[in-house]
Amino acid sequence: DSGVTQTPKHLITATGQRVTLRCSPRSGDLSVYWYQQSLDQGLQFLIQYYNGEERAKGNILERFSAQQFPDLHSELNLSSLELGDSALYFCASSVAPSRTSGTVTQYFGPGTRLLVL
Amino acid sequence: DQQVKQNSPSLSVQEGRISILNCDYTNSMFDYFLWYKKYPAEGPTFLISISSIKDKNEDGRFTVFLNKSAKHLSLHIVPSQPGDSAVYFCAASGNSGAGSYQLTFGKGTKLSVIP
């Protein structure tokens, strides 16, 4: 158990709909990252938040958005869903990057499996 | 443009033998490398990491080797056990600006350890 929780575990919806995925980071972690894993693809970085502020964006579609709340949990909003959005969505968390190493290990949640019909 | 490549989609190894998983990268800005293990229906689990200032890091049965000049790293598992059967992802990180250190993943190698 990584300490990162994600809800829901599974989500089935229809094209054109909007869904919200939720993530709670490990206790003490300030950074939250969202990744998408499609069939036959590795994990693709979507977006990062650090202590409530957006820190970096990756391959995130304009139809997708995210936010991190004062209690540090994060939500990923997916709208105008298309069949191709069906994927596993993972959240990861880490402490703030250290000054010396400049990078830290990310710990992943169990993921949300989204199926768009 | 794949910056992290795992060229072997799958690998089969006999129990007790060594498993060697390979990973190549192209971005010279990467300075921290990680290996994750993933079982079906679970999230990736952190295994071991290495900073670019080192060329080897060991943790129990797992050793990661880094060859910066070749932009290549490998994960050695000795001895391999059936419970090691999973998909292994190589990931790389570097400062991509504004203090962000997101991970760039390879597509994974499915390891099967045969009893």
Report the residue of chain A nearest B43, measured CA to CA. A110
Are B103 and A97 a contacting pair at CB < 8 A?
Answer: no
Are A108 and B45 a contacting pair at CB < 8 A?
Answer: yes
Residue in B100, B107, B110 to test binding to A, most A beta-carbons within 10 Å = B100
State both tokens at B68. Answer: 């910066």
Q: Minimal CA–CA distance to B93: which of B40, B27, B47?
A: B27
Burial of B104 (0-12, 13-18, 19+ CB in 10 A): buried
What average pLDDT is seen over chain A?
91
Q: What is the 3-state secondary structure (H, E, C) of chain A?
A: CCCCEEECCEEEECCCCCEEEEEECCCCCCEEEEEEECCCCCEEEEEEEECCEEEEECCCCCCEEEEECCCCCEEEEECCCCHHHCEEEEEEEECCCCCCCCCCCCEECCCEEEEEC
Render B26-45 in DSSP notation, one character per residue.
--TT--EEEEEEE-TTS--E
Report the residue of chain B nearest A98, measured CA to CA. B99
What share of chain B has pLDDT > 70, as a percent? Answer: 94
Q: Are strands A19-24 and A74-78 parallel, antiparallel or unpaired?
A: antiparallel
| pLDDT at residue A62, rounded to an integer | 95
| pLDDT at residue B59, rounded to an integer | 95
Average pLDDT of the residues in A6-17 = 97
**Interface residue A27 vs chain B (CB under 8 A):** no
Q: pLDDT below 50 — which residues of chain B?
A: none
Are B44 and A90 a contacting pair at CB < 8 A?
Answer: yes
Helix, strand, or coil (residue B56): strand
Are A43 and B100 a contacting pair at CB < 8 A?
Answer: no
C-beta of residue B65 within 8 angstroms of C-beta of residue B55: yes
Neighbours of A96 (CB within 10 A): 13
C-beta of residue B23 within 8 angstroms of C-beta of residue B5: yes
- Predicted confidence (pLDDT) per residue in A51-68, tens digit: 999 988 988 999 999 999
